[in-house]
Structure 1
């Protein structure tokens, strides 16, 4: 099957997709899954510049028309603790159409338990993020 593309899992019916940004976030102390998800989203968007929305490269499209879909891979046992509104606050502009949370990420040992840093145990939470950007 080399050279053949698989059909996309992305639903393009609500926006024209331009690109996908991907990131990873960790919370090593305090066991805060929302902090890990926010870091994953910041990681996804922090190394990109999107001049097309600012300088009119796409006629009639600016940051007011930017649309975002966020997909987060979060360990299943921590999903009920995830604060989606705090995660959304990471994005400086763009209309967030959807935040999808799927089973993913990881819980592993950070190798150290530091009560002074709010640790309940030595768990490190890891979240993966995919940010779909379009208009």
Structure 2
């Protein structure tokens, strides 16, 4: 296959005489006035500052050197059990990860006994009183849980069906989001 050099192809742009500037959006120019088009500006970028990675997110908890943030989503479509949805969200966050660094000594002086976790769950406010935190904590096979935070989040939506045989009280589906911070 032969490649052509761009130097071998004569190329020049023709000069385009302009008596007035062209509109920024010619395809919609006929629908909008020029003064309106000039007032359209891009939105500024929102910037958010985060705490230092080596600090815990909860007051009164010990500091942590952050390695990973694992995220997951859990659902409970039948039975309206917010704890089951939260457990699934946590399992989803940690299930597709292997952390050999804690077992192989990749971090000098650190093994799975020194693993620290911070858990943050987004749970619909109306379901938060029914969340069994101790059952959710049982999902994590090892690591010391430094903090467990429940915030407003997740969702309650319709599953489209109510099956009494599966324990449904209504057709609500509970959705929980989880963020699991892993460090040492």
With the length of structure 2 as denominator, give the TM-score of the two structures: 0.70
Partner of 1:50: 99
Q: 1:15 aligns with which of 55, 64, 83?
A: 64
Partner of 1:98: 147
After superposition, the C-alpha distances for 1:53-100 in whole angstroms (9 at most, x for unaligned) are 000000000000000000000000000000000000000000001110
Offset at residue 8 of structure 1 (A)? 1.4
Q: 2:161 aligns with which of 112, 130, 133?
A: 112
With the length of structure 1 as denominator, give the TM-score of the two structures: 0.94
CA distance in 1, matches of 2:132, 2:164: 23
Segment of structure 1 superposing worse, 81-90 or 7-16: 7-16
Question: Any residues of structure 2 matched to 1:1-80 within 5 Å, and which?
Answer: 6-9=48-51, 12-13=55-56, 14-80=63-129
Gaps of 5+ in 1: none
Q: Which has the higher strand share?
A: 1
CA distance in 1, matches of 2:171, 2:181: 33
Aligned alpha-carbon RMSD (Å): 1.6
Q: How many residue pairs get matched? A: 134
Offset at residue 6 of structure 1 (A)? 3.5
Offset at residue 7 of structure 1 (A)? 2.0
Aligned structure 1 segments of 4 or more residues deviating by more than 4 angstroms: none
Gaps of 5+ in 2: 1-43, 57-62
CA distance in 1, matches of 2:114, 2:49: 26
